[in-house]
Amino acid sequence: MSNTKLLTMSTKKLLLPSTALLSLLILAGCEDHRMADSPDIVVQNRSVTPVLAKFLPGATNGRIGANNLSMYSLLSSDDVLEQSPSYVFGGSADGAGIFQNPDGNYTVLVNNEDNFAVSRITLDKTFKPVKGEYVLNSDGGTWRLCSATLATPLEHGFGPVFLTCGESGQESRTHALKVDANVNQSSISREMAGLGRWSAENALPLPKTAYPGKTIIMIGDDDSDVNGGQLAMYASNTVGDLENGLLYMLKRSDNNQKEMDMKPGTVYDVEFAKIENHKTLTGAQINAKVNDLKGIKFGRVEDVDYRKGSAANGREVIFAVTGQDNSGVNADYSRSKYGRIYRLVLDEKDPSKGKLEVLLDGDDRSGIAKTFQDPDNVCVTTNYIYIMEDPNGYGDEKHDGYVYQYNLNTRQLTPIIEIDHRRTASDAAKYNVGGTSKLGSWESSGMIDVSDVTGRPNTFMLGIQAHTWRGDKYKGVDGGSVRKNEDQASQLILIEGLPR
């Protein structure tokens, strides 16, 4: 890896990719996410690591409806890639994006959350991982990097650029990474001051069809302190401008700031209140604006996604509130403990106004979301929300981390996948370092729909954060100096057959 290089504030700007890659993605936008003459990919186990997940009875006999279900191990920290034998995939695989290269191969970008790093994986035309490298290491990553969004001209009207958020406290920023960065640029921090300072899980640009001529970005603030977490919005009247727009936080029109005062079955009028001069403010100052602006104090806003399928759907924003224990600053239980899923429908003409609804309430322990153990990440398709759980750490976990399927049309919630800690397998010691792992102590994350890029319908990629899979050979694999003792391993899997 190169020596650490940090850009000065005057040069922290969006770095565009090479002309060849940009041209491909713009041309692809005329028709599809995929080159027309691409051969079919081959979906099979590619890794030496078994799939660390299993289908639940809700996915009856390996089927959902008419769809056959399968899972495959794509990549893990134990794999040696033929074009980069010294590369080791980092731990805590999280936010991801995928695109096809001009040569027909594929690139997958993945956050390695606790490494404070971003991996770039090259897969050949058959979808076999052949090369890995870090386009951001811990020296430039600076913070824990959780979920992420790959913005492209086809979907969002600008990019391609990988938006990945810092989540190490309220002074963290969001990076905008050049997707074809040279390896010797891998330690450069590309922070976007325009998006403010948050302990952010994701910065999600809405599709270009939602508000033509504008760039609207939703930001989930994973804060559990006295002022709670926010749902923030960045808005610019210039497509692709990530520096000069305005920043807002969500509030109810009646100024009620208590999350738990909102109940399923009721739709609430909401609006976004402007944060004045946000680029001059610290994260603490931005967070404190919640009281002046009467923002809603959520119990940790995590991942954000939008519904697919139409311009109207693109204004339907789904976000997860992970929840926080009802003690300390939440002793009054004014914020969710076990987690919630919200739907925000933005006004067709004005993104600063909308209607907010609680879709799923984990704090109703007799309701349909009664098994929630703090939902963390969401992947939204045309008809479904796929929901991934965080370990809540309360000591009352009843199962290992689930992936749920929520049908937006029928409002049915079904647990379909559970993480497999391999506690009773012959290799249990490998994955349960320090003793048998506790229920719910692993998590899945960064689920993305790869169907359109791969040409393989109903295919998704999911990261497995196996937090007790540790070892010296995984230490500091990103090459940076900040997280040189980080020793977790992780995995990417493919899931076939999930309806969209």
pLDDT one-digit tens code per residue, 255-266: 999 999 999 999
pLDDT of the residue at 58: 79
How many residues are present in the chain?
500
pLDDT of the residue at 53: 98
Rounded-to-integer distance, Cα 397 and Cα 440, Å: 6
Q: pLDDT tens digits, residue range 350-383?
A: 999 999 999 999 999 999 999 999 999 999 999 9
List C-alpha distances in Å: 312 to 34, 306, 309, 406: 24, 10, 8, 20
**Residue range 215-242: mean pLDDT, rounded:** 97
Q: Tokens standing for 412? A: 């049915």
**Residue range 267-275: mean pLDDT, rounded:** 98
Contact 102, 24 (CB under 8 A): yes
Contact 55, 416 (CB under 8 A): yes
What mean pLDDT value characterizes the chain? 92
For residue 360, report the phi and psi dihedrals to the nearest 5 degrees: -140, 130
Let me know the angle formed at the C-alpha of 322 by 316 and 323, rounded to the nearest 5 degrees.
125
Question: Quick one: which of 176, 221, 217 has its CA closest to 197?
Answer: 221
Rounded-to-integer distance, Cα 126 and Cα 320, Å: 34
State the CB neighbour count (10 A cutoff) for residue 304. Answer: 28
pLDDT of the residue at 295: 98
- pTM of the full structure: 0.94
Contact 108, 150 (CB under 8 A): no
State the CB neighbour count (10 A cutoff) for residue 473. Answer: 11
DSSP secondary structure letters along 126-179? TS-EEEEEEEE-HHHH-S-EEEEEEE-HHHHSS--EEEEEE-SSTT--EEEEET
Element (H, E) at 31: helix 19-31
Question: Quick one: which of 318, 377, 315 has its CA closest to 346?
Answer: 315
pLDDT of the residue at 62: 65
Q: Could you tell me if residue 364 is left (phi over 0), alpha (psi between -120 and 50 degrees) or otherwise beta?
A: beta
Q: Which domains does the chain have, with CATH numbers?
A: 9-496 (2.120.10.30)
Q: Which of residues 390 and 2 earns the better pLDDT score?
A: 390
Report which DSSP code applies to 254: T
Question: Quick one: which of 340, 149, 179, 319 has its CA closest to 260?
Answer: 340
**Residue range 281-288: mean pLDDT, rounded:** 96
**Residue range 123-150: mean pLDDT, rounded:** 96
Q: pLDDT tens digits, residue range 376-400?
A: 999 999 999 999 998 888 999 999 9
Q: Which of residues 25 and 449 earns the better pLDDT score?
A: 449
pLDDT of the residue at 189: 76
DSSP secondary structure letters along 332-393? T--S-SS-EEEEEEE-SS-TTEEEEEEEEETT-TTSTTTT-S-EEEEEE-SSEEEEEEPP--
pLDDT of the residue at 178: 86
Q: pLDDT tens digits, residue range 456-497?
A: 999 999 999 999 999 999 999 999 999 999 999 999 999 999
Q: pLDDT tens digits, residue range 44-99?
A: 999 999 999 999 987 776 667 667 899 999 999 999 999 999 999 999 999 999 99
Residue 473 half-sphere exposure toward CB, CA atoms < 13 A: 11
pLDDT of the residue at 181: 72
Percent of the chain predicted with pLDDT > 70 = 92
Residue 460, C-beta contacts closer than 8 angstroms, at least 6 positions apart: 379, 386, 447, 448, 449, 450, 451, 494, 495, 498
Q: Is the pLDDT of residue 447 over 80?
A: yes
Rounded-to-integer distance, Cα 390 and Cα 386, Å: 14
Percent of the chain predicted with pLDDT > 90 = 87
pLDDT of the residue at 10: 27
Q: pLDDT tens digits, residue range 78-90?
A: 999 999 999 999 9
Q: Tokens standing for 483? A: 């997280």
Q: Is the pLDDT of residue 187 over 80?
A: no
pLDDT of the residue at 68: 87
Contact 200, 167 (CB under 8 A): yes
Q: Is the pLDDT of residue 336 over 60?
A: yes
